[in-house]
Amino acid sequence: MSAADTSLVSLIGERVRARRHARGWTLDELAERSGVSRRMLVNIEQGVTNASIATLLRLSEALGLGLPSLVAPSDGETPVEVNRAGTRSPLWAGEHGGEAFLAVAITTPDVVELWDWSLAPGDAHSSEPHVAGTRELLTVIEGDVVLSVAGEETVLHPGDAASFHGDVVHGYRNDGGSAARFALTVYEPAAPR
């Protein structure tokens, strides 16, 4: 792991622990509410493991906050938040070299995330359903992307865009022979309190 990756992993661990303590929950209670094992929670809170996007989403939902609140490098209090290329750590790494970066996000209490994804040939990412009402917008920048939503697949080419429900099983795949890149916006409504 690079220094930036290590720093982000530690920051995520601190935020999970602080939010869990603020709610007065034990590790076992958070494990039960999130579906994440106690052992994994210990590793996350100690900053020794780089959790998957799916795990981070389960934790953010159980803790009642958006994913950006766990992974954003700053507190978002400045008038303009700039995340420079090359300074972000990937939150997903594909088997064949693809990566996904959370470029920027806002929490208002609804969550809006802008992702920068690359998929190497053969890479695939499957996502569990997000909270009810989640919508996603995807536009392909280069290569071809197979978008799968609730079992229905659509091939998207450079310049193509799609809007779809993110509260069902969905995923992205590169079946081609060259790299693919796409931008993804996720809108997640605030969880009912």
Average pLDDT over residues 56-72: 82
In contact, 42 and 26? CB cutoff 8 Å: no
For residue 132, being part of any structural domain is answered with: yes
Domain extent, residue 116, equals 92-188
Quickly list DSSP for 33-77: HHT--HHHHHHHHTT-----HHHHHHHHHHHTS-HHHHH-SS-S-
Clarify whether residues 96 and 180 are in a common domain. yes
Per-residue confidence band for 35, with pLDDT thresholds at 50, 70 and 90: very high
Count of domains for the chain: 2
Clarify whether residues 58 and 129 are in a common domain. no
147 membership: H or E segment, kind and range: strand 145-149
Clarify whether residues 104 and 183 are in a common domain. yes
Clarify whether residues 61 and 103 are in a common domain. no
pLDDT for the residue numbered 36: 93
| pTM of the predicted protein model | 0.71
pLDDT for the residue numbered 3: 60
Give yes or no for residue 193 having a pLDDT over 50.
no
Distance, CA of 54 to chain centre: 7
Q: What are the tens digits of pLDDT across the range 90-117?
A: 888 899 999 998 888 887 778 899 999 9
How high is the mean pLDDT of the chain?
88
